[in-house]
Structures are given as C-alpha cells and as structure tokens.
Amino acid sequence: MKKTSTRLADGRELIYYDLRDDTVRDAVDRRPLEPTVTTSEIRPDVLLGDAVAVASHRQGRTYHPPADECPLCPTQGGRLTEIPDSSYDVAVFENRFPSLAGDSGRCEVVCFTSDHDASFAALTEDQARLVLDAWTDRTAELSHLPSVEQVFCFENRGAEIGVTLGHPHGQIYAYPFTTPRTAQMLRSLAAHQDASGGENLFDAVLERELAGERVVLESEHWAAFVPYAAHWPYEVHLYPRRRVPDLLALDEAARAEFPRVYLELLRRFDRIFGDAEPPTPYIAAWHQAPFGTLAGFDGVRREDFALHLELFTIRRTSGKLKFLAGSESGMDVFINDVPPEHAARRLREVASS
C-alpha cells in the first residue's frame, strides 16, 4: 500500500491509498472553493446521559446529484470533483459537511473505488484489503488527535438508509467522547466480569454463538453469526476469533483472510430477498475500543473489548422496511419481525457461488 496525503482547494486533507507503490498523485484541486465553515456543537442530554451533535450547516449538503455530477467520482476534464486525480484506488478526505469538527471531533469520507456503478461487494479481494488498510491507518492517525476518544468506521448503503450519494463510499467519525452504544457494552462487560469471577463477556458470547444454530459462516480467523437478541430483521456480527480491541491489533493472518469473508457476507446480503429485488440496503459498522483509560468502567481494560463488525439491513421482507416506530424510537425497545434463527438459516442458504 502507498499512502499520499495532499490538500483540497479549501484546505481539507485528502489521502490516496494505492495498490501500486509507484503510483504518483500530484493532481491539484482546481475548484474555486471558499474555506469550509462549520457550526458543529456537542450538547449533552442531562436526562439520558448521552450527547447530540447539532450541525445546522449540513442542511446544505449535496443531495442525490445525477451520476454525471457525483462529487466522489474522479475528476475528468472540466468536471471537477472532490478527487482531483483522474483515477484512484481508495481515497479518504475530510467531509465538507461534517457532523463533527474542530474540538467536537472529525468526519471523513472513504471512497472505496472510482467506479461509480460498483459496490463494496463487487470489489476484488485486493481492493477490499486496501479498504481495510485505509480504515486501520485512519484509526491510527485519528486516535492521536487530542479531541478524539473513539473512532468509528462505517458504511451506509442504499437510499432507504438515507444515503444521499450513490457512489460506493463509507465514512469515519472520530468522536470526542465514548459513544453511548460502546459505553453500554463496557458496562455490561464490567458487570459480567464481576459476576463471573473474571470471564470476558465477548469471549463468552462468541463461544455460545459458535456452539449454536445461528452461525452464518466460519473461517480460520473469523466467525459470523446472527446474535441471539438481534435487533434488526437480518443482522450479522463478524468477529475475529482472536480477541483484539481495534483494527490496529489485527494480525496479518486475520487481515489477509478478512476480504474473502467480508465479501462473502455482503454478497449473501444481496441475495436474501432474491435476485429480482434491488440491492439490499444495509449499515456496516465497526465497533472498536475507545482510546484512553476507560475511566468509569471498573476493572475493564482496553484489551478486554472485542473488535467486531455489525452488518444489518432495515428491509424485513420483499418490498417492506423495518421502521423504528413507537416502541423503538420512543422507548429503545426493539421488536424484531424475523426470528434470528430464521435469518441465520436464510443467510446460509444464499451462499454466493
């Protein structure tokens, strides 16, 4: 992998990740851009104990442009985009409309390929490995920013999810706090450790699931299963078999095997509802340990957390979506229409050829 860092016309950072070491990236952003102005603010909710990012500048972000005006495609002739070069393998840049900025963190866009009509599932294993290397490198770099406590790499795919740009891409959020979801995991981890005399909860969950009927696929270094209490109609958790706290701690064997396993999962997701259905909308979310001492979570060390990816779709059956209505949105109590055992069986049935 070759990494090249440069700047866009408004001062934002752009990083190219290339498969070839001899690739030269010296194209200049020729757009007449003004400096980015953001109004991101983190407001704590004193009742719930979480936080809300208020970012009114995002109302003006690019919204469903036609394919020939996509800002994530490479620059071609007089059509200038966020990527000044005429091609790229993987490109990462600071979001022009960030939810988090300055002392409130940082947001980046990860373009998986220059092919506008592709998807992550259509990548080669070499391309998918390059994305993994980019996620890992950005996690390392962002963890050194003084305002950052947790790094979250994710992909939103599909208009049903709320994606406003059709080009295959994901995002990275660098939060100035430990997110509520992770904090809850750490509390559960601490409570189980105390009640069991030191057993790691993540290890116990993985062992239980691998012995049950909800396994979707297994390999030497990775395991994927539908969790016992899945929140979403089709939801898969992907764990490295050796517990590590973040992407940086994955060994080379796990890194080398990841592309094959993950691409297989994504291709199965696209076959859940049959080949006649549109591509399955999904969210793919990496859960990594926060950086720091984990103060407030008694007895829990950073290495006790287990890196894992959660992949789920909001489509519950052909032509029907799972909406977060009264119970889910009002009380955080999910109601799942698809039994997890059925979902796992279906994901085993649709193994891609």
Catalytic residue among 57, 64, 169, 221: 169
What are the two backbone dihedrals, phi and then psi, of residue 343, each rounded to the nearest 5 degrees?
-60, -45
Give the Cα separation of 191 and 172 in Å (integer).
30
Query: H or E segment at 135?
Result: helix 125-143
Number of residues written out for the chain = 353
> CA-based diameter of the chain, in Å?
65
Residue 93 near residue 110 (C-beta atoms within 8 A): no
Give the Cα separation of 71 and 320 in Å (integer).
31
Give the Cα separation of 173 and 196 in Å (integer).
34
How is residue 140 annotated by DSSP? H
3-state secondary structure of 334: coil
Burial 93-116 (b: 16+ CB within 10 A, else e): bbbbbbbbbeebbbbbbbbbbbee
Q: Which two tokens stand for residue 255?
A: 């890194």
169 in active site: yes
Which of 150, 152, 154, 148 has its CA nearest to residue 178? 150
Report, in angstroms and rounded to the nearest whole number, the Rg of the chain calculated over CA atoms: 20
Place of tokens 């969790």: 227
Close Cβ partners of 62 (under 8 Å, ≥ 6 residues apart): 71, 97, 164, 165
Give the Cα separation of 204 and 224 in Å (integer).
15
Give the Cα separation of 104 and 232 in Å (integer).
30
| Enzyme catalytic residues | 169
